[in-house]
Structure 1
Amino acid sequence: MATLVLSAVGTAIGGPIGGALGALLGQGVDREVLRPPGRQGPRLTTLAVQTSTYGTPIPRLFGRMRVAGSVIWATDLIESHATSRAGKGQPSVTTYSYSASFAVALSARAIRRVGRIWADGSLLRGAAGDLKVAGTLRVHPGGEDQAADPLIASAEGSMAPAHRGIAYAVFENLELAEFGNRLPSLTFEVFADEAPVSAGFIAAELTQGRVAARGGTMLDGFAAYGDSARGVLETLAEGGGWFAPAGDGFVLAQDEAPVATLADAGHAAEGERGARGARTLAAAETVPRRVTLAHYDPARDYQTGVQSASRPGAGAREKRAELPAAVAADTARALAERRLAAAEAARERRMVTAGLDRLALAPGAVVSIAGAGGRWRVTGWSLENMVLSLNCLRLPGGPGPVPRASPGRVLAAADRHAGQTVLQAVELPPLGDEALAGPMLAVLAAGTGAGWRRAALLYSLDGGARWIEAGGTAAPAVLGTVTVPPGVASARLEDRRSMLEVELAEAGMALADADAGGLMSGANLALVGEELLQFGRAERIGTRRWRLTRLWRGRRGTEAAIGGQGAGARFALLSADSVATIALPASAIGGTVQVMASGVGDAEPAMVTVAVTGASVLPPPPVALRRDGEVLRWTRRSRTGWRWIDGADAPLGEEAERYHVTLATAGGAVLREESVGTPAVVLAPAERGGDVQVTVRQIGTFGLSGPARIEGVRREA
């Protein structure tokens, strides 16, 4: 007597593979495939955290998948610093930023390209291939002839590995400020194949052709890893199939047609308990009422998606299955329906006796049974006393229409294009209440795209012969140009007659209203040409165009610039978090400085040239120039204390109070020119004529203020 029984591994819902693999013993298949059950293949997990652990397996990628990869090479962090001083008497502040260069292994199989890249869950690289922060990316696709990366080669010398057969990405000088000055956790969208691939194709590659490259579910993507090829094949069978013999190898079967029709040889009566030929039908309660399938959903940025199928009738058991592959919601729903149908069909089993001519029917073969209808899968057989017994399990009917399914709501990482850097640099009066220790430039920058974040800053005091690092720009500013200038108005009252229209650099930029209290607190301060003004009402009149009214003109001593704007003049909304500063030496006054900003979307850096007039450190012109009897008086102003919070005189803000006074005739002949230490001067009789012109400038620590003038001093103020 000889007995041979090949049993199946798995459940009615799972895809059996053990019995089929048993037939591979004589076919020289890699022993890795034949390892016993329990070896692990891929598992469905939340997107894995990136590692750099030595010995971490590198997956073989198929289709398109999102993977974390493994860091295989890195340099030390590269430190940069910039020093600035907030104001007179204030300590200097040094800010540090860091960048890093490193390489990440992605696939142990060649790939086509890398798509999006996420860093700590936010997009680092968009679908268009644009990096969201400064740095350089190179992708090596994993060819067997690829050369070593030039950066790695320069650091490691002639022993630098080329990592042939490994697809990897190299980041060079990736700025880390957006990630807390540390290496972020990265995940990559990798396109190994440009189109979906079948589970059978994947199985064929993993078994060197022992499994035919046909059959099985079409998968958008799959990452093959685990401690055995068998584990990976078991995972592929979870997609709704099983491995069946085909020639010298196997095929991942799913909707195979029967290869033979079986008729019971009559060794036992059907239905007799324990006899061959018996038919068994499990209770309906053994079938799950609901099957839930978890998968990676490309529509959810490859996060886990869940689809379910339910049946009516008795029972309360639920079954959760996992398919660690990227498939659409519709496909996952169809697979859940198929699994439920397979479980329902598998309630019915038969044992059929047949002649020895059926010995070639190995486990996994699809047959039909005379008088039983439908398709049946051979799950095992035994040969005893020259009687062949075949164990058969009913298969569900053919696939029905693919159901429609929704991936659900997903909060995908925004893919915003950075665009080109828009740069403005200007020497402004101090925006705070502290006097500056030296001239200072205010730098504002933004981008033509909503994804612009920051740019590296450099400046030159010698016409570009030498560039000095100045750190980076501040938060994106609201910038634009004037389309309708506001005209001339008084700086003493709210201007309710004029309006200002501007076109902003990017549609996502916005302006807002401010009430009187907000304006008093400094809200909505904008630079328009050379004038600082505030606005109380902002109305959008186009995609990027705004109309501003309720204007407060000539703020912080810029009343001389009122009415000097034309169409095309600059517009910049000033706020503490959007202004970066560059401290300049006092010797820069009277010269020019070039400022250059380079952002991630710039083919060429943005550059502006600024005349350093001392506007940031000079006192504003005196006001209220008037004659009081024989005395000419005026009121000084200060470059500090603009908010006037105590109602007392503004602080001096200079080393000493001094004024330069010039009296001249209408023809320009100077009658008197002198410096005084009080805001008044006694007029001589000859200086009291109606044609006398008076000019007063305050003498500041760094130079003279703008002029305050009066003509015809006979007229009383």
Structure 2
Amino acid sequence: MAIRDITSIPRQIAVSVMNPDLEYNNEAVPASLFGSMNAVETAEIAFPIVDKASTARSVAEKMLLKAHNEERAVEFYGMPELAEWAIGDVVTVPFNGTEVKVRIEKKQKTLPIGKIRFQGISVSPFSPTYYQDDFTVQAHVRRSQLATFNFPRNSTVIPIISEPLTANERGKLGVYLAVCGRGRGASENIAVFREFDTDNFVQEFIVDVQARAGLCAGTLANHGGGTGTEDTVNTLDIWFFNDVELESVTQPDLDRFPTLNLIRIGDEWVQFRTATAQTLEEDSPYRSKWRISNLWRGRFGTSAEISAHAADEYASIYDSAMLFFELGAEDIGETVTFKAVTNGQAIENGLTTSFTFDPVYSYTVTNETDTRSLDANATTINELADVIATILKDKNLAG
């Protein structure tokens, strides 16, 4: 059995690139983990390329997490009777008189006597994800103790129940999901699980491009002009969980593209015309902060939510990273639970999100001025035929 020497593993990796936002001057963008106290402080890697700080930090996080995963790599051999151990099992293996907990990642039979070669990752006796946001409040956990553990960021699933935003989702039952990492640490791929029975979570998909989501720094106020006039009074600051880039657009841009600069604030869809970068507070657990203004409120059938906002609401940008997850008719009215697990994180430590699935059935007619219902109100043959004909007409116009 062998474990890699940890003295060459950095606690921080910095990727140096030519940043166009700094007039193409070099900038070293770091990513940090609570690595081993015996590890070197920083490793800097320079790439002779032009790139933004957000992309460079993502590269640094991936390199750092890979290095620390390799630090904990374990390999050992067992007799044939250990074939009952399965991939994913956490077992205790003696190493130089010390018992090490190992999560099995791969096993392989060898010749001639059938010994089994195991490869895995050493795991800690407790999950440091409980302490990653602010370990200083945990008086009984010393920094040196935390430093012996490596951990990914927590991740979250933000469910959004909405009427269809594009033709691809029309006629389908489902929910939009914004999935991203949050807090300190590193994140690469995020696996999303769904609970079917109590504590029976089944993996549904893996996210490699995270949603642009965050938390509102204030409460979005009411707009008396409803959906018909631009809200030029209210602004909203948003802390984003990742480094994001937003841009201001013109009113003709918004008129042409109904999902451009579209953001979900709580239960309301809002389009913003102006985005302004803000200074992130010192020691903030977030990665970027933006202010949005010149707002068009109550988009996509959410006008009733204009006056219904509260504090600490999620904010999620609609783009290709926001996923549409199909559900069935049997899920209507039921509690649906998802769990997000970051690469390297134990399933039991992933954060869960639950909601009641009450789908929105309305279909907005784009070539007329009214809204047709796809629920039980459309009961006659003529009404159903009218709805179907309208959908087909819309799709032909869109094509």
Distance (whole Å) between structure 2 residues aligned to residue 614 and residue 153 of structure 1: 42
Aligned to 1:519: 254
Aligned to 1:586: 329
| Bigger Cα displacement from structure 2, 445-454 vs 596-605 | 445-454
Q: Structure 1 pair 130/582, CA: closer, same or farther in 2 (3 Å)?
A: farther
* 2:215 maps to 1:481: yes
Aligned to 1:425: 159
Q: Is the 8 A contact 1:538 1:547 kept in 2?
A: yes
Q: Structure 1 pair 552/153, CA: closer, same or farther in 2 (3 Å)?
A: closer
Q: Is the 8 A contact 1:479 1:572 kept in 2?
A: yes
Query: Deviation string for 1:554-575 (max 9, x for gaps)?
Result: 1111111112111111111110
Distance (whole Å) between structure 2 residues aligned to residue 536 and residue 526 of structure 1: 11
**Which letter does structure 1 place at the counterpart of 2:189?**
R
Aligned to 2:109: 156
Distance (whole Å) between structure 2 residues aligned to residue 528 and residue 566 of structure 1: 10
TM-superposed deviation, 1:585 = 0.7
Q: Which 5+ residue runs of structure 2 have no aligned equivalent?
A: 11-37, 44-58, 77-94, 123-150, 281-287, 389-399
Distance (whole Å) between structure 1 residues aligned to residue 9 and residue 248 of structure 2: 47
Within 5 Å, which residues of 2 pair with 1:460-479?
Answer: 460-462=195-197, 464=198, 466-473=200-207, 475-479=209-213
Q: Is the 8 A contact 1:553 1:559 kept in 2?
A: yes
TM-superposed deviation, 1:433 = 2.3
**Which letter does structure 1 place at the counterpart of 2:368?**
D
* 2:190 maps to 1:455: yes
Q: Structure 1 pair 115/443, CA: closer, same or farther in 2 (3 Å)?
A: farther
Distance (whole Å) between structure 2 residues aligned to residue 580 and residue 136 of structure 1: 34
Within 5 Å, which residues of 2 pair with 1:170-249?
Answer: 170=120
Distance (whole Å) between structure 1 residues aligned to residue 291 and residue 359 of structure 2: 32
- Alignment partner for residue 498 of structure 1, among 234, 237, 243? 234
Distance (whole Å) between structure 2 residues aligned to residue 562 and residue 465 of structure 1: 37
**Which letter does structure 1 place at the counterpart of 2:194?**
Y
* 2:244 maps to 1:509: yes
Aligned to 2:353: 608
**Which letter does structure 2 place at the counterpart of 1:160?**
K
TM-superposed deviation, 1:155 = 3.8
TM-superposed deviation, 1:484 = 3.0
Q: Secondary structure at the match of 1:553?
A: strand
Q: Structure 1 pair 472/492, CA: closer, same or farther in 2 (3 Å)?
A: same
Q: Secondary structure at the match of 2:368?
A: coil
Distance (whole Å) between structure 1 residues aligned to residue 202 and residue 173 of structure 2: 16
* 2:296 maps to 1:552: yes
**Which letter does structure 2 place at the counterpart of 1:582?**
F
In proportion to residue count, which structure has more helix?
A: 2
Q: Is the 8 A contact 2:236 2:293 kept in 1?
A: yes
Q: Structure 1 pair 65/512, CA: closer, same or farther in 2 (3 Å)?
A: closer
**Which letter does structure 2 place at the counterpart of 1:605?**
G
Distance (whole Å) between structure 2 residues aligned to residue 594 and residue 549 of structure 1: 34
Distance (whole Å) between structure 2 residues aligned to residue 534 and residue 486 of structure 1: 15
Distance (whole Å) between structure 2 residues aligned to residue 602 and residue 431 of structure 1: 33
Q: Is the 8 A contact 2:156 2:339 kept in 1?
A: no
Query: Deviation string for 1:375-420 (max 9, x for gaps)?
Result: xxxxxxxxxxxxxxxxxxxxxxxxxxxxxxxxxxxxxxxxxx9522
Q: Structure 1 pair 563/144, CA: closer, same or farther in 2 (3 Å)?
A: closer
**Which letter does structure 1 place at the counterpart of 2:162?**
L
Distance (whole Å) between structure 1 residues aligned to residue 63 and residue 340 of structure 2: 21
Q: Structure 1 pair 140/469, CA: closer, same or farther in 2 (3 Å)?
A: closer
Q: Is the 8 A contact 1:499 1:547 kept in 2?
A: yes
Aligned to 2:32: none
Q: Is the 8 A contact 1:446 1:454 kept in 2?
A: no
TM-superposed deviation, 1:598 = 0.5
Q: Give the number of the structure with larger relative contact order, counting CA–CA contacts within 8 Å between residues 6 or more apart.
A: 2
Distance (whole Å) between structure 2 residues aligned to residue 436 and residue 159 of structure 1: 56
| Matched-pair identity in % | 15
Within 5 Å, which residues of 2 pair with 1:249-260?
Answer: none
Query: Deviation string for 1:394-451 (max 9, x for gaps)?
Result: xxxxxxxxxxxxxxxxxxxxxxx95221321122222212453431121111123584
Q: Is the 8 A contact 2:108 2:117 kept in 1?
A: no
Q: Structure 1 pair 161/465, CA: closer, same or farther in 2 (3 Å)?
A: closer
Q: Is the 8 A contact 1:496 1:549 kept in 2?
A: yes
Q: Secondary structure at the match of 2:253?
A: helix
Distance (whole Å) between structure 1 residues aligned to residue 208 and residue 370 of structure 2: 30
TM-superposed deviation, 1:551 = 0.3
- Alignment partner for residue 542 of structure 1, among 254, 261, 279? 279
Within 5 Å, which residues of 2 pair with 1:103-122?
Answer: none
TM-score for the superposition, normalised by structure 2: 0.56
Aligned to 1:649: 368
Distance (whole Å) between structure 2 residues aligned to residue 527 and residue 126 of structure 1: 32
TM-superposed deviation, 1:601 = 5.9
Q: Is the 8 A contact 2:227 2:299 kept in 1?
A: yes
**Which letter does structure 1 place at the counterpart of 2:205?**
G
TM-superposed deviation, 1:549 = 0.7
Q: Secondary structure at the match of 1:487?
A: coil
Count of residues paired in the alignment:
280
TM-superposed deviation, 1:591 = 1.6
TM-superposed deviation, 1:468 = 3.4
Q: Which 5+ residue runs of structure 1 have no aligned equivalent?
A: 1-60, 67-111, 164-168, 173-416, 621-636, 639-643, 661-674, 679-698, 702-717
Q: Is the 8 A contact 2:9 2:68 kept in 1?
A: no
Aligned to 2:170: 436
**Which letter does structure 1 place at the counterpart of 2:295?**
L
TM-superposed deviation, 1:653 = 7.2
Distance (whole Å) between structure 1 residues aligned to residue 211 and residue 359 of structure 2: 24
Query: Deviation string for 1:108-151 (max 9, x for gaps)?
Result: xxxx999999xxx98755279644xxx9952359x889999884
Q: Structure 1 pair 650/461, CA: closer, same or farther in 2 (3 Å)?
A: farther
**Which letter does structure 1 place at the counterpart of 2:307?**
G
Distance (whole Å) between structure 2 residues aligned to residue 433 and residue 155 of structure 1: 48
Distance (whole Å) between structure 1 residues aligned to residue 270 and residue 326 of structure 2: 24
**Which letter does structure 1 place at the counterpart of 2:254?**
L
Within 5 Å, which residues of 2 pair with 1:29-44?
Answer: none
Within 5 Å, which residues of 2 pair with 1:303-452?
Answer: 419-448=153-182, 449=184, 451-452=186-187
Distance (whole Å) between structure 2 residues aligned to residue 113 and residue 549 of structure 1: 46
TM-score for the superposition, normalised by structure 1: 0.33
Q: Structure 1 pair 493/651, CA: closer, same or farther in 2 (3 Å)?
A: closer
Q: Structure 1 pair 455/560, CA: closer, same or farther in 2 (3 Å)?
A: same
Query: Deviation string for 1:506-544 (max 9, x for gaps)?
Result: 4x2343212223323121111111100110111233314
Aligned to 2:74: 139
Distance (whole Å) between structure 2 residues aligned to residue 170 and residue 573 of structure 1: 38
Q: Structure 1 pair 127/657, CA: closer, same or farther in 2 (3 Å)?
A: closer
Query: Deviation string for 1:256-280 (max 9, x for gaps)?
Result: xxxxxxxxxxxxxxxxxxxxxxxxx
Distance (whole Å) between structure 2 residues aligned to residue 425 and residue 599 of structure 1: 18
Distance (whole Å) between structure 2 residues aligned to residue 605 and residue 153 of structure 1: 23
